[in-house]
Structure 1
Amino acid sequence: MKIVITGGHHTSALPVIKKLKELDPDIKILWYGHKYTLLGDTNVSLEYKDILDLHIPFFELHAGKFYKTYNLKRLLKIPYGFVQALQLLLKHKPDVILSFGGYLAVPVVIIGYLLKIPSLTHEQTLVVGWANSVIARFVDKILISWEDSLNYFPKHKTLLSGLPMREELFSIVTDRFKVNQKLPTLYVTAGKTGSLIINEAIKQNLQELLGFVNIIHQCGDYSKLNYFEILSQEYTSIKDKVPGRYFLERFVSKENVGEAYNKSDYVLSRAGAHTVLERLVLNKPGIIVPIPWVSHNEQNINAQYLKKFTTCEILQESELNSALVSSLKKIQQELLKSKKYPIFDSYKKDAAKIIAHETLELAKKV
């Protein structure tokens, strides 16, 4: 059996790939994705690294998407993405396509539909993303992460699967981050790309923050900005003046992510679906900074959802730099009050297995 996996959320796919291989050791998986995370970047994406580590063939797809501002070069990528998807699918002839949303999945699913290749798509967010709203009519099965998302899709082909989480989150196999035990620890993460806004706020406030917390910081690996070097130099200039310890990583690896979360008392993050679920399941209070331009106000909705279940300050990008330190101190005080929150019990532990099973069953029907 041959499966093509594509989409913009490779974090969701990794646990599913593991289950697919367990259920069918002879399965052949192909990946259509982004070799580089951002336009003009020269450092390969974490997606590319993770897929190659699994010895899965990776095929770079140059699909385009619609932007709010006109850009001819980007618009021309849209038809090119469809042509490339056609060439790849004719060459590989997969039994089924598994999509994880994102604009990259659109040409693959639609061309697959025209070639009569069955497909599924998985929606990670509470509100439907643009890509999945488009391809929903072309897929045979829609898998959703949250019960609230059911209203956005045809009920006859939609199943609540849950959102797959990395098993490594729940195990501690390393001792990389030797924090000052007398201080609480802040874990800063903004997904696989990092965040210019968050990185700059940490840089501007680093000395004051390290006066009362340790920091584990995943800054990303965008070659044009090189925040790893910038932040490393900043810490070198102040580390003898502060009690807190600073651990800077381009990416927190799968081996270290369980340790990072376990040792953290607070988290500063974006409001992507995976990060929000991780914080809900692991009960991590802290600060959340929604991306304002994401479609359908998705990240603000995710942030409000997180705030229902844990002590959390929502900061917009424009106020992060000035309010970061005071907000973190406010959270410390709030946690002393032992406020009771509803128990989050919507996590489906078998999400990866459900998605893998549905994929294999659809392929068998061909």
Structure 2
Amino acid sequence: MRIIVAGGKTGGHIFPALSIIKELRKIKGNISVFFIGSGSKIERMLLEGEPVVYEKINVYPIMGMGLKAIKSFLYLPLSLFDALEKVKRIKPDCILGMGGYSSGPVIIAGWLRGVPTFIHEQNYVPGFTNRILKFFVRKVFYSFRESGRFFGRKGIYTGNPVREEFFEVRGEVSDYFTILIFGGSQGSSILNSSFVRTLPMISEKIDNLRIFHSTGEADYEKVLEEYKRYNFVWEVKPFFNNMWDYFAKADLIVSRAGASTIFEILSSGKASILVPFAKSAGSHQLRNAMELKKKGVAEVILEKELSEVKLASKILELFQDRKKLKEMGERAKDLVERDASLRIAQSILKEIKENV
């Protein structure tokens, strides 16, 4: 069996894809996987060592790009031609789009060549690309139960694929109050800078403070210098490998609200403070975060309202109310489907059984 997986640009698309690929291999054995992405550095880093063939497609984003979107539209025919060449050469049994603009031309190229196509929608409200691609696929797998209204009979509720290690997270027994902060696989400058400014306030009130801070590459040196002024226990890195190990140590997580991030938090049974990215396409991070707040598993601070005082106040409130912190974490696990990757793998194989 040969499969093309399209998507990327962030770990939020890549990690769920790898979880689905893992389940497909459990069922079908040695399958050939071709991952087609945008050619970004983060894609290459996260896929390094994975048993997939990585290829780049020349495509550019449209949503949120202003005048640059004109160039992206003009480039679409070339992107489609590039995708058609790849699909013709690879001869896949199916194509799975994981979201992001790089999946668009690949899914349409597969549809034009009669290849069974599928997409996965991670967010509470579908993004621009998937709202178009739903007309070119056999099935749409979606993560939030409430999102089914967007997809009609093509939709299949599966939950969001999460790496198994996050479900195995067990809280560390420790004397520390531990905060894990990260802004997604690429980091967040506004979250980094705001959190660093909370350090004098929270370190004064929390004697047993411990912080793990994943900064992204761009802010690493600057943030590291700030931490060197403090004597509490901390670890600062551009990116944490085996992130589930840090989830296990955390009492509270402060992060953005990308779909993969929030489902990893939920799967781990952790309380969180979410700061949704204000410029996310279609405000999908805001909608993801507000859904979690409504269900009582996360606190939310809007980016336009973010300040060191407000963030420190939220952190200290949860530090002082351990009962609420624990209840948030316990409710979180009820909102995830542990077998999401398996459901998607089985659905794909059921749809293409005549072709495999």
TM bucket (normalised to shorter chain) is 0.7 to 0.9
1:13 is displaced (CA, Å) by 0.7
1:207 is displaced (CA, Å) by 4.0
Report the counterpart of residue 325 of structure 1 in structure 2: 312
2-structure distance, mates of 1:284, 1:172: 10
Q: 1:214 to 1:76 in 2, by over 3 A?
A: farther
- Give me the CA root mean square deviation: 2.4
Letter in 2 for 1:164: P
Q: How does 1:281-292 map to 2 (within 5 A)?
A: 281-292=267-278
1-structure distance, mates of 2:213, 2:151: 37
Please point out which of 214, 228, 231 is paired with 2:223.
231
Please point out which of 276, 300, 312 is paired with 2:262.
276
Letter in 2 for 1:125: N
Report the counterpart of residue 39 of structure 1 in structure 2: none
1:338 is displaced (CA, Å) by 7.6
Report the counterpart of residue 24 of structure 1 in structure 2: 28
Could you tell me whether the CA contact under 8 Å between 1:286 and 1:331 is conserved in 2? no
Could you tell me whether the CA contact under 8 Å between 2:169 and 2:268 is conserved in 1? no
Could you tell me whether the CA contact under 8 Å between 2:202 and 2:316 is conserved in 1? no
So what's the TM-score if we normalise by structure 2? 0.88
1-structure distance, mates of 2:87, 2:295: 44
Q: 1:277 to 1:303 in 2, by over 3 A?
A: same
Report the counterpart of residue 194 of structure 1 in structure 2: 187
Please point out which of 10, 15, 24 is paired with 1:11.
15
1:111-138 deviations in Å (ceiling 9; x for gaps) = 1111111111111112111111100000
1:183-240 deviations in Å (ceiling 9; x for gaps) = 311111221111111112133333444442311111122xxxx31111122222x03x
1-structure distance, mates of 2:300, 2:169: 29
1:55 is displaced (CA, Å) by 2.7
Report the counterpart of residue 148 of structure 1 in structure 2: 146
Q: How does 1:206-355 map to 2 (within 5 A)?
A: 206-211=199-204, 212=206, 213-221=209-217, 226-236=218-228, 238-239=229-230, 242=231, 244-254=232-242, 257-310=243-296, 312-322=298-308, 323-336=310-323, 343=331, 345-355=334-344
Q: 1:337 to 1:52 in 2, by over 3 A?
A: closer
1:315-337 deviations in Å (ceiling 9; x for gaps) = 12233233221221122234456
Please point out which of 81, 84, 87 is paired with 1:86.
84
2-structure distance, mates of 1:331, 1:278: 20
- Give the structure with the larger helix fraction: 2
Please point out which of 61, 67, 79 is paired with 2:63.
67
Letter in 2 for 1:59: E
SS of 2:30's partner is coil
Query: Is there any run of 5+ residues in structure 1 with no aligned partner, and where?
Result: 37-43
Q: 1:331 to 1:105 in 2, by over 3 A?
A: same
2-structure distance, mates of 1:295, 1:205: 29
Query: Is there any run of 5+ residues in structure 2 with no aligned partner, and where?
Result: none
Report the counterpart of residue 41 of structure 1 in structure 2: none
1-structure distance, mates of 2:125, 2:82: 29
1:75 is displaced (CA, Å) by 4.1
1:252-284 deviations in Å (ceiling 9; x for gaps) = 213xx2221111111101111222223333332
2-structure distance, mates of 1:251, 1:297: 25
2-structure distance, mates of 1:273, 1:120: 19
Could you tell me whether the CA contact under 8 Å between 2:63 and 2:128 is conserved in 1? no
Q: 1:76 to 1:209 in 2, by over 3 A?
A: farther
